[in-house]
Amino acid sequence: MKSGPSADRFALPVLILGAVMISFSGIFVKLSEVGPTMTGFYRMALALPIFAIWVWCHRPARRSTAPERRKAFQVTGFAGLSLAIDLIAWHWCLQFASVAAATLMGNTAPLWVAAFGFLFFGERFGLRFIIGMAAAFGGVWLLLAGGDKGFDIHNSLAFVLGMVGAITYAGYLRGGKEARRHLSTAEVMLWGSLVASLVLLPVGLLTEDRVLPQSWSGWGAVLGLALVSQTIGQSLINWAVAHLPAAFSSLTLLINPLASAVFAWALLGEGLGPWQILGGVVVLGGIFLAKPNGRNEGNGQETGPRDSSRAA
């Protein structure tokens, strides 16, 4: 993919498309015949050959030094580890909480991305972004609370798992953005997915009995998760966050529960009530309000100097 001003114009649509692609994750996870952690492993492992071919075929000119790339690979490893922990925590959270509750907890990630940016990267946020983020979170709450199942957390473990998932997903987004300064999207996706799969496999083998799909439909579920959610969805997101402020990127991903609700209505026959429709409108309005307009308005822009070079 291209970089530079022309690419920046497409970053937001690409990010939204990526969020729509990963919104299929819940459907694939529900259809999976293996345990939660092994489902995450297959998501990573089955995508690896595609990412390897992508890296082999796409070799952009390197504008970063060897030490910069070495550090970027280390950051990618951190991102992969964070994603593995996120998948373990969120998939297990679904075992103890309703889908609505788990989704809401998982979508607190933008708060943590903003906190990391403020504490460690010198980012500052203006009133417009803060109001937009609050509105988007309110819309997500309406969207999920308006469903038939509502919110239900069976025990405190579900809350802990949900928060761990949100924090580690924020670490994945932040790490991926930093790594993209010196690595291509293909390199970040390959090495991040490899690290995640190496973490998920032993955990899954030690903690779960169901490690192999038992039918073609079971294999189809994990293959769909690998192709749609990981290969397409996460790759689009990883490319887009390199061209947008990290906090705004994570906020835009709140379109994920909105897309999930629409797909559940279209594919599974689940109803969309008036509160859910209102919540969807509020989410979109909040994202629009928080959108940077090209000037440093405090939407998560860094105040200190930074290396502006980006891998293609």
Question: From CA 260, how far away is CA 227, in angstroms rounded?
Answer: 17
Tell whether the model's pLDDT for residue 276 goes beyond 80.
no
CA distances for 240 relative to 2, 8, 90, angstroms? 11, 8, 23
pLDDT score, position 154: 59
Token reading at 205: 């083998």
CA distance linking residue 279 with residue 191, whole number of Å: 37
DSSP 213-280: --SHHHHHHHHHIIIIIIIIIIHHHHHHHTTS-HHHHHHHTTHHHHHHHHHHHHHS-----HHHHHHH
- pLDDT band, residue 312 (cuts 50/70/90): very low
pLDDT of the residue at 305:
30
Beta strand residue intervals within the chain, DSSP E:
123-125, 299-302
Output 134 or 271, whichever has higher pLDDT.
134
Coil/strand/helix, residue 312: coil
Q: How confident is the model at residue 292 (pLDDT cuts 50, 70, 90)?
A: low
DSSP conformational letter for 123: E
> Alpha-carbon distance 90 to 86, whole Å?
6
Nearest Cα residue to 167 out of 97, 83, 284, 61: 83
Question: What integer pLDDT is reported at residue 302 of this predicted model?
Answer: 43
